[in-house]
Amino acid sequence: MADTIFALASGAGRAGVAVVRLSGPHAGPALAALAGSLPPPRTAMLRSIRHAGVEIDRALLLWFPGPASFTGEDVAELHLHGGRAVREALFAALLSLGLRPAEPGAFSRRAVENGKLDLTRAEAIADLVDAETEAQRRQALRQHHGALADFYEGWRAQLITAVGRAEAAIDFSDDGMGEAEFDAARTTAIHLAQEIQAHLDDAGRGEALREGVRLAIIGPPNAGKSSLLNALAQRDVAIVSDIAGTTRDVIEVRLDLGGVLVIASDTAGLRDSGDTIEAEGVRRALARAREAHLILLLQDGNAAAPRAAIPGDLAPDFVVWNKSDLHPHEGISISLKTGDGMATLQDLLQQKVQQKFTGEAPALTRARHRVALTEALAALDHAVVAHEPELLAEDLRLALRAVGRITGRIDVEEVLDFVFQGFCIGK
């Protein structure tokens, strides 16, 4: 990597301190030119930063000569006063010294290319920066410590052995000694196919934690769905009225439920409507329920109130009866008017979310990993029915390549662009 890049590593806008990071072969000369000389490695030093005879700022400097640095290259950090003009003056100086602004994810990408991080750890950095809740933070940190990398590398190691055995089976096939090797390779394929299937079936646990657990609130018109959303959000997000059919669009709020990010959606009341707009609202409500992790069906406790017709493929995780101030009901009964029962409902929601989506076991956290594992599984399903060692070896190799793509052990270049385009600049 011949060029040297720079970027603001801290947030944009006014701040007490702004951190600017440089990486590449000219990081050292650039830092020395600005500060007069290089500070000792990994030791903070307060220096005056000057360019073209003008003082830009007094800044704290850190110098990390490669390869013992985040990217593996020579890296420098300048901790400046966090003002716009200070940053602009430094950027102008860096440009005139021949450095160039970094693209999104460039620092992490270089770290992967230089073997400092595998792809799952690099993705965990992005997740840590984006984490809004405790559960997201914990999952991202576990992944950054290598929990996922170790897990997938374990499968990769088994596949490497299995490929070796299948190849041995080919070599020995003429003298009839390959059978044991063939069987061993096939047994690994069967075993791994089961494990990968179970991991894929894991209720989208890791992805749900990372992206938010989707909770759909559905029910007949006027049951109090919008009132419930407002109560959960503790603010007035959705319009509440006694006119049946008030809500038409799906209204979404992000909640922190016991440390888990939950994306709750209020939807149009379910009924047959001749009104085209309301009918579209009902269509959207059902679509939202179908893609939800959890469905809450809210009913009016009044026995005379209409009941929603729920399509057979939708199974509510909770049935909640509202308006207990007027019509108390068996089961989970609440009043959004008085707040009665809401604490219990919140506890139930929280328990369900914890039980279904949190846990220490490694979980699949990204669609990219899912795609690779689905591909690996297809290859393994093929492998287990192979009769020829050549075909078995080929299918195992396909599975190996797919699993390797998750951590970036093979086909690295091909997957790098895809991974790092989602990063922000300076990471």
Ligand X SMILES: Nc1nc2c(ncn2[C@@H]2O[C@H](COP(=O)(O)OP(=O)(O)OP(=O)(O)O)[C@@H](O)[C@H]2O)c(=O)[nH]1
Q: Which residue is nearest to ligand X (CB)?
A: 269
Q: Which of 69, 143, 226, 358 binds Mg ion (CB under 5 A)?
A: 226
Q: Under 8 Å CB-to-CB from 30, ≥6 apart: which residues? A: 4, 22, 76, 94, 97, 98, 99
Q: What is the CA radius of gyration of the chain?
A: 28
Q: Is 322 in the site for ligand X (CB under 6 A)?
A: yes
Residues that bind Mg ion (rule: CB under 5 A) add up to a total of 4
Q: Is 158 in the site for ligand X (CB under 6 A)?
A: no
Nearest to 41 by CA among 10, 2, 76: 76
Nearer to Mg ion, 120 or 299 (CB): 299
Q: What CA–CA distance (Å, rounded) separates 181 from 169?
A: 5
Residue 206 interacts with, from Mg ion, ligand X, none (CB under 5-8 Å by kind): none
Q: Under 8 Å CB-to-CB from 322, ≥6 apart: which residues? A: 223, 224, 227, 228, 298, 299, 300, 301, 334, 335, 336
Q: Which of 75, 94, 192, 223 binds ligand X (CB under 6 A)?
A: 223
Window of 25-33, 91-99, 243-251, 286-294 that interacts with ligand X by CB under 6 A? 243-251
Q: Is 392 in the site for ligand X (CB under 6 A)?
A: no
- Site mask for Mg ion (CB under 5 A), range 243-272, x = bound: ---xx-------------------------
φ, ψ at 193 (rounded to 5°): -60, -40
Q: Which two tokens stand for residue 419?
A: 């991974």
Q: Is 306 in the site for ligand X (CB under 6 A)?
A: no
Give 264's strand partners.
215, 253
Tell me the CB-side half-sphere exposure of residue 358, using CA atoms within 13 A: 18
Q: Is 241 in the site for ligand X (CB under 6 A)?
A: yes
Q: Is 221 in the site for ligand X (CB under 6 A)?
A: yes
At its nearest, how many Å lie between ligand X and the CB of residue 320? 11
Q: Is 265 in the site for ligand X (CB under 6 A)?
A: no
Q: Which of 136, 247, 365, 407 binds ligand X (CB under 6 A)?
A: 247
Window of 180-188, 242-250, 314-322, 357-365 that interacts with Mg ion by CB under 5 A? 242-250
The alpha helices in 41-146, defined as continuous H runs, are 84-96, 106-113, 119-130, 134-144
Nearer to Mg ion, 99 or 270 (CB): 270
At its nearest, how many Å lie between ligand X and the CB of residue 112? 48
Print burial letters for 180-209: b (CB count within 10 Å at least 16), e (below 16): ebbebbbebbeebbeebeebeebebbbbbb
Q: Is 246 in the site for ligand X (CB under 6 A)?
A: yes
Q: What is the DSSP letter of 14?
A: S
Q: Is 242 in the site for ligand X (CB under 6 A)?
A: yes
Binding site residues, Mg ion, CB under 5 A? 225-226, 246-247
Binding site residues, ligand X, CB under 6 A? 219, 221-227, 240-242, 244-247, 268-269, 322-323, 325-326, 335-337
